[in-house]
Chain A
Amino acid sequence: MSKLLTFSILFLSVTIFICMFRAIKGPSAADRLIAVNVIGTKTIVLILIVSFLLNETYFVDVAIVYALISFLSSILIAKFIGNSGGKNI
């Protein structure tokens, strides 16, 4: 089971780096925000798998706080994009 969890950690890290390509290159701000949102979700799963691998149960609380802050930042930047009044951002 430990090998399976290690493999899934490595796989998630590779997909995070592929998402980072879109977050850097993306033509508009919404592209970058979508990529960063997906990276946040993957990081939550990554923290939980690491907590199972190391047998440290307090990492679960870290994952809860990470989910809350990621949701808040996504909504705030989405409001900023909607209120930008047609500028090219």
Chain B
Amino acid sequence: MKDIVVTIFLFGGLFFFMVGTLGIIRFPDVFTRSHSAAKCDTLGAILCLSSLVVLEGLNMVSLKIILILVFVWIANPTATHLIAKGEYARQASLEKLNEVKKHEDI
């Protein structure tokens, strides 16, 4: 029973890692790529780590893994959000610097 749960969770995590990597390779833009990377960071890592917790049982090692799990769940979406925000600020100041005109104004 434990082996079946571990296998399902581990293959689910590997599936989300594969899909996220495919999105990072194939998507055309920075923001769509960051969207795909956030899927990879949250769902893939959480499923893989919870499968390891189920495999280990409840002791000190699995408590440390749960600590990593909670930290990854808080930290990685924050990092992705900050990257997207920084890139948006850079592109906005790029347009202001070069005085790009909108298509309707020409």
Instruction: List residues of A whose CB falls within 8 A of some B CB.
Output: 1, 4, 8, 11-12, 15, 18-19, 21-22, 28, 30-31, 33-35, 37-38, 41-42, 44-45, 48-49, 52, 57, 60-61, 63-64, 67-68, 71, 74-75, 78-89
| Cβ of B16 to closest chain A Cβ, rounded Å | 11
User: Contact mask B20-36 → A, CB, 8 Å, 1/0?
Assistant: 11001100001001100
- Are A64 and B86 in touch, CB under 8 angstroms? no
Beyond A22-B24, A41-B40, A74-B79, 12 extra complex contacts between A and B, CB < 8 Å? A8-B48, A11-B18, A30-B87, A31-B33, A34-B24, A34-B33, A37-B83, A45-B45, A45-B49, A82-B89, A85-B93, A88-B94
- Are B41 and A38 in touch, CB under 8 angstroms? yes
The answer to whether residues A61 and B64 also contact, given A37-B83, A86-B90 and a CB cut-off of 8 A, is yes
In whole angstroms, what is the CA distance A76 to B3 when docked? 41
Contacts of B49 in A (CB 8 A): 45, 48
The answer to whether residues A38 and B79 also contact, given A28-B30, A44-B68, A81-B86 and a CB cut-off of 8 A, is no
- Are A67 and B68 in touch, CB under 8 angstroms? yes
Question: Count of B residues near A, CB < 8 Å?
Answer: 49
Chain A binding surface, main DSSP class? helix
In whole angstroms, what is the CA distance A65 to B85 when docked? 26
The answer to whether residues A35 and B24 also contact, given A30-B87, A64-B68 and a CB cut-off of 8 A, is yes
Give 13 A-B contacts (CB < 8 Å), ordered by A residue: A28-B87, A30-B34, A30-B86, A41-B40, A41-B72, A42-B17, A48-B65, A49-B52, A63-B68, A82-B87, A84-B90, A86-B93, A88-B94
- Are B90 and A38 in touch, CB under 8 angstroms? no
- Are B14 and A11 in touch, CB under 8 angstroms? yes
